[in-house]
Amino acid sequence: MSEPETRVASPPPAASVKVLSGVWRGLGPIVYALVAGGVLLLLMGRDPIGFYATTIESGLLSQTGLEQSIIRMAPLLLMSAGLIVAFQAGLWNIGGDGQFLIAAAVVAGLGAPLVGVLPYSLALALLCVIGFVAGAAWTIVPSVLKAWYGVNEIITTLMVGFIGIRLANLLIKGPFLSDRSLVPQTDVIPFKYLLPYLPGTRIHLGIVVALAVLAAVHYMQTRTSYGLSLRMLGASPKAAAHAGLDVKRDIVTAFGLSGGLIGLAAAVEVLGVWGYVRADWNPAFGLTLFALVFLARLNVKLVIPLVGFFAVLSIGGHEAARRAGLPNDFLLLLIGLILFFMVFTEWARTKGWTAGMRLRAAGRTSQREAALDE
Amino acid sequence: MGEAPAAVELRGISKSFPGVLANDEVSLVVRRGEVHCLLGENGAGKSTLMNVLAGVHRPDEGEIRVAGRRVTIGCPRDAIDLGIGMVHQHSSLIAVFTVLENLLLGRGEGLRLKTGEALAALEEFSALLGVAVDPWVQVGRLSLGEQQQLEIIRALWRGSRVLILDEPTSMLTPKGVEDLQRVLAQLTRQGLAVIFITHKLREAFDIGDRVSVLRRGRLAGTIDEATMRGGTFAELKQMVVELMFPGEAARLARVAEIRGFEGPARRSRRPAAGPPLLELSDVLIPGARGEVGIDEPLSLAVHAGEVVGVAGVDGNGQRPLAEGIAGQRRAAAGDIRLAGTTVRALSIGARQRLGLRYVTDDRLGEGVAPPLSVALNLVSKRIGAPPFWVHGRTKKAAIERHARALVEEYDIMTPTLDTPAGSLSGGTLQKIVVARELSFSPKVVVFNKPTHGLDVKTTAMVRDRIGRLVEGGEAGALVISTDLEELLELCDRVAVLSRGRLMGVVENVPGAEQEIGALMIGGGDE
Ligand SMILES: Nc1ncnc2c1ncn2[C@@H]1O[C@H](COP(=O)(O)OP(=O)(O)OP(=O)(O)O)[C@@H](O)[C@H]1O
Ligand SMILES: [Mg+2]
C-alpha cells in the first residue's frame, strides 16, 4: 500500500510480558492457596511458617527428602504426559487411575515370574512394554465407542476406570495372588531385579525415563504432523474432519498413547519403588494431576516444575502434617484450595484484573504516545 | 424535520488487540428512529466497535452514552438490560439447545424463565418477518439462513432501544432481506435505532438513513441524511468507495459495477466445455433430522473449464449436497465420480487427494480451527504432505513461506502469521478459507457462498479467481450461492435447487434470470 499507514500497528505484547503473565497464571493460585492454607493453620492453632518450613526442609532440603521427591516425580510426570496427550486432543480421559492400576497389577503379577527367567535389562524393558500395553488396552472400549458411535468419553472412561480399579483388585486376589503373604498381594520382585539407581544416589532410573518421554511428547506435539492432527482435533473436531484428517484413527491412537503412558507410569512405580502391588493399593494420582496439568495449561515445560512442587509438598507435607499432629488430608485441602484459586484467577482475568493486563495497557498507552510524537 | 435525539453515542472509543488497533478513537452518534449503516473493508473494525456497544469487549478508552446518560457496559447482560440487541456476524446460538431455549438465554429474571413471553415474541416477530420457526427444534438442525432469522428475532426481542445487525443479510434471500427491511421500517417509526453492517452498497442505500464508513479502525466519514436522500445511487457509491478505499476509486469503479449494481454483467456461455470432472448420478443425500436433504435422485455434471451454479433459498439441500460431494456425509444412493473415479465410498481426505476442494460456508465452525495460527490454518488440508511435512516432521520454514505468500496474494489482514485464526475478522477468515482451497491446483472446487462477508474489493477478487481457476480448461467449479447476481456473473449454467430437488438447469444466456426465478417459484408451489 502506497499511502502512509494510519493505523498504529502495535507489535504483539513483548515476549517478556507474555511469559510473566503466563508464569503468574500458573504460580498465582499456588501462592494464594499457600496463604489461605496458612490462615487455616493459624486458626487451628498451628504455626504456618513452621509447617511450610518443615515441608520444604524434609521434602526438598534434606538428602533423603529430595531423593524421595524426585522418585515420586517419575510416575507423576509420566501420568501427566499421558493426560496431556489426551487433553490436547480434546479427549477427556478421566479413567487414568483405572488404567494405572490395571497396568500395575499386570506388571507386578507377571514381573515376579519373568525377572528370574529373562536377562535383567530385557525383563525390565519387557515389563515396561507390558505396562504400556495394559494401560493402552484399557482405553480401547471408550475410544472405539467415541470414534465410531460418538459416545461421550467422560462417562465411558470413568466407568471403565472403575471397572479397572475393581478388576486390578480381582487380578491380585486371583491369578496373581502370592501364597507367601498374609495380606492379598502379588509376589514380590526381588530387589536386585528392580530398576537401577542413578549413580551415586538412591534415585531409580524412572525419572530419566519420565523426562525422556516428556521431551518426546513435546517434540511430537510441536514438530510433527501427527501432533498437529491431534491439536486440530482438540481445537475443533469439525475442522479436523473437514480438513480430511482421519479422526477415528486419531481418537483411537491418542487414547491408546494416553493410556499407555499412564500404564508406563505404573510400571515405573512398581519396578522402581515397590516390587509388588497390594490388592488395596491405589495412589489415586489422577485427580490431583488433572489439576496440575490444567494449571500448566497442558504445557509440558510448565508441568515439570509444578509436578516437582507437588512432589515436595506431598513428601515434605507428610512429615510436616505428622509433626503438627494434623491428618494427611490437610494436603488434599491444599490441593483443593489450589483448584479453587485457579478458577478464581481465571475469573479475575476475564474481568481484566491481572498484572499482565495492566502491563499491556501501559505498553499500549506508551506506544500511542510514541505514535503521536512522530 | 428536526434531528431526532441520540439513542446511543460513542465517544472516542479505542480498542486494541495484540498487534492491532481495531478501533482508534471512533465517535459515532446513532439517533432514534434511524437506520445507520456501517460500512468498511474487511478488518476495518466494524464488528469490534459494535461488540463494544453490545458488551462483548470493553473499550480501552472512550465512553458510551445511552439516551444521553453515560453508561458502563461490562458484559452482554448489561447491554440487554439497556435495550441493546445484537445479531452477531457469526452465530452466537447454541446448537444443542432448542429455538426456545436460545431465545431465553440471558433473559431470565432470577430463576424464572420468561417462557410465555418468549413464545409470544417468537410468534410476533416471525410473523413480522414472514418466517415459520418451530420453537422446539434444536438449533443445530436449522440451516444457516434460518439460524440467522432466529438471531434477528432474538435481537429484536432484546433490543428495544438499539438494534445492531452485523451482516444480517449474508445468509438471507432477497425476499428475506425485503421482509427484514419492512420490519425495520416499522420499528424505526416507533423510535428504534438500528445499526446495520453490510458489504452490499445497494442494501446500505436502500435501507440506511445515514452511512458511516470505518477505515482501519478510524471513522473515515459519515454521509448525512440530506446527501443520502438527494443523491443517486451512483453518487453515493462513489462517495462510499472513496471513503473506504481512498485513491483507489478510479481503479475500483469497474469492480463496483461488476458487483451488479447496474445489472449483472452476463458471462457468455463458454464454448464446448471439456470432459466431465464431477459427475453426480441419481444421488440421494439424506438430511439430518429436521433438515432438508437431497431427497430426490439428483444428477448433475461439472465439466472442465466450466462453472456451474446452484441457486436456491438456503436450507433447501445446499449443505447436504456440498457435504455429500466433499465426503462429509455419505450419499445413500447413486454415484459420485471425480474425473472418472467413483468416490462415493471414499473418505474426505481421499477425495481431497484426488483434487476435490470444498469451500465451506461455515468458516468459523469447520473452515478453520480457531485457536490455531493463521499459518497452520492455511495448510491444514495438507497435514503430513510435503513440502510442509517430511516423514511426519514439520518444516516450519516451508509452512511460513507458503503462508506469507498467500497472506500477500489475498491481502489477508492479520497482525502476524502466528495469530490465532479465531481472532480475525469475518471477511479475513473467508479469505483464508478461499486462499487455502484455491492453492495447489485443484481439479474441482465446490464453493458454498464463496463471497459471503467479503468487502466489495475482495469479492471482486475472489470472483476473478473463480473465473481464472477454470479458464485453462483444467478445472471446474460448482458455486452454491443464494445471490442470484453472483451466479449470473460467474456461471455457465445454473441449477435450481428447491426442497431437496433439482428443479432444472438453465444455460446462462440473456433471460436466464426469469427462467431461474420461475423454477424457484415452481418449487415453492408444491
Ligand atoms: N477477539 C479478537 N482478538 C484479537 N484480534 C481481534 C479480535 N477481534 C477482532 N480482532 C482484530 O481487529 C480487527 C478488526 O476486526 P473486526 O472484526 O472488527 O473487523 P470487521 O470490520 O468487522 O471486518 P469484516 O468485514 O471482515 O467482518 C481485525 O484486524 C481483527 O484481526
Ligand atoms: Mg465483522
pLDDT per residue, tens digit, chain B (526 aa), is: 457 889 999 999 999 998 899 999 999 999 999 999 999 999 999 999 999 999 999 999 999 999 889 999 988 888 988 999 999 988 888 888 899 888 888 666 666 677 888 888 888 888 888 788 888 888 887 877 788 888 888 888 887 799 999 998 877 777 778 888 888 898 899 899 999 999 988 889 889 999 999 999 999 999 998 888 888 888 888 888 889 888 776 677 666 544 444 444 445 555 556 889 999 999 999 988 777 899 999 999 999 999 999 998 878 899 999 999 999 999 999 999 999 999 999 999 999 999 999 999 989 999 999 999 999 999 999 999 999 999 999 999 999 999 999 999 999 999 999 999 999 999 999 999 999 999 998 999 999 999 988 998 889 889 999 999 998 888 999 999 988 888 998 999 999 999 899 999 998 888 888 889 888 876 544 4
Phi, psi of B393 (to 5 degrees): -95, 135
Phi, psi of B89 (to 5 degrees): -60, -45
- Residues 6 or more apart whose CB falls under 8 angstroms from that of B259 comprise B200, B201, B456, B459, B460, B485
CA nearest ligand 1 atom 24, residue: B42
CB contact, 8 Å: A241 with chain B? yes
CA–CA distances in Å: residue A362 to residues A33, A365, A369: 29, 5, 11
CA nearest ligand 1 atom 27, residue: B426
CA–CA distances in Å: residue B266 to residues A59, A86, A237, A281, B509: 80, 54, 41, 78, 7
C-alpha cell at B227: 446527501
Task: Give the distance (Å) from ligand 2 centre to CA of residue B218.
Answer: 15
Question: Is residue B465 classed exposed, middle or buried when 0-12, 13-18 and 19+ CB atoms within 10 A define those classes?
Answer: middle
Give the lowest-confidence range in A151-165, A263-277, B368-382, B501-515. Answer: B501-515
B318 within ligand 1 shell (Cβ under 6 A)? no
Q: What integer is the mean pLDDT of A193-218?
A: 95
Residue by residue, DSSP assigns A90-110 as T-----HHHHHHHHHHHHHHH
What pLDDT score does B96 carry?
A: 87
Q: What angle do CA B148, B150, B152 make, to 5 degrees?
A: 70
Give the lowest-confidence range in A11-20, A195-204, B13-22, B427-436. Answer: A11-20
Measured between CA atoms, how close is A366 to chain B, in angstroms?
Answer: 13
Taking any CB pair shorter than 8 Å as contact, residues of chain B touching chain A are 16, 18-21, 24, 58, 60, 215-218, 246-247, 326, 328, 347-352, 358, 360, 362, 365-372, 376, 380-381, 383-384, 389, 392-394, 415-416
Cβ-based contacts of B347 with chain A (< 8 Å): 244, 246
Q: Which of A6, A238, A246 sits opposite B218 (nearest CB)?
A: A6
Cβ distance B247 to A243 less than 8 Å, yes or no, reads: no
Mean pLDDT across chain A, nearest whole number?
Answer: 87
**B368 → chain A, closest CA residue:** A239
Cβ-based contacts of A246 with chain B (< 8 Å): 347, 349
What pLDDT score does B268 carry?
A: 53
Taking the model in full, what pTM does it have? 0.88
Q: Which of B247, B360, B392 sits opposite A3 (nearest CB)?
A: B247
Interface test with B, best of A236, A246, A248 (most B CBs within 10 A): A236
Q: What angle do CA A366, A370, A373 make, to 5 degrees?
A: 140
CA nearest ligand 1 atom 1, residue: B423
Residue by residue, DSSP assigns A23-56 as HHHHHHHHHHHHHHHHHHHHHTT--HHHHHHHHH
Shortest-distance atom of ligand 1 to CA B217: 14
Task: Give the distance (Å) from ligand 1 centre to CA of residue B47.
Answer: 7
| A302-339 tens-digit pLDDT | 899 989 998 998 899 888 988 888 888 888 888 788 87
Task: Give the distance (Å) from ligand 2 centre to CA of residue A335.
Answer: 43
How many A/B residue pairs have CB atoms within 8 Å?
103
| A97-110 tens-digit pLDDT | 999 999 999 999 99
H-type alpha helices, B310-441: 318-326, 348-353, 374-378, 396-409, 426-438
What pLDDT score does B422 carry?
A: 93
**A6 → chain B, closest CA residue:** B216
Q: Which domains occur in chain A, in start order?
A: 47-325 (1.10.3470)
What pLDDT score does B263 carry?
A: 45
Burial code of B372-389, b = ≥16 C-beta within 10 A, e = fewer?
Answer: bbbbbbbbbbbbbeeebb
Whether A311 contacts A76, CB under 8 Å: yes
CB contact, 8 Å: A229 with chain B? yes
Host H or E run for residue B335: strand B333-338
Residue A196 clears pLDDT 90, i.e. is over it: yes
Q: What integer is the mean pLDDT of A184-201?
A: 93
Task: Give the distance (Å) from ligand 1 centre to CA of residue B334.
Answer: 43
Question: Is residue A19 classed exposed, middle or buried when 0-12, 13-18 and 19+ CB atoms within 10 A define those classes?
Answer: exposed
Measured between CA atoms, how close is B521 to chain A, in angstroms?
Answer: 33
Which of the four pLDDT bands, split at 50, 70 and 90, describes residue A354?
very low
Which of the four pLDDT bands, split at 50, 70 and 90, describes residue A351?
low
Phi, psi of B303 (to 5 degrees): -95, 165
Q: Which domains occur in chain B, in start order?
A: 6-83+160-262 (3.40.50.300), 273-355+441-526 (3.40.50.300), 364-435 (no CATH)
What pLDDT score does B109 carry?
A: 63
Q: Which of B24, B58, B381 sits opposite A352 (nearest CB)?
A: B58
Residue A371 clears pLDDT 90, i.e. is over it: no
Q: Is the dihedral of CA A171, A177, A182, A185 positive or negative?
A: negative
What pLDDT score does B117 carry?
A: 84
Grid coordinates 465420480 are at which residue?
B337
B22 within ligand 1 shell (Cβ under 6 A)? yes
**B414 → chain A, closest CA residue:** A9
Measured between CA atoms, how close is B381 to chain A, in angstroms?
Answer: 5
Residue A291 clears pLDDT 60, i.e. is over it: yes
Cβ distance B394 to A239 less than 8 Å, yes or no, reads: no
What pLDDT score does A356 carry?
A: 44
Task: Give the distance (Å) from ligand 1 centre to CA of residue B137.
Answer: 32
Cβ distance A6 to B383 less than 8 Å, yes or no, reads: no
CB contact, 8 Å: A150 with chain B? no
Cβ-based contacts of A361 with chain B (< 8 Å): 60
CB contact, 8 Å: A228 with chain B? yes
Q: What angle do CA B466, B371, A307 make, to 5 degrees?
A: 155
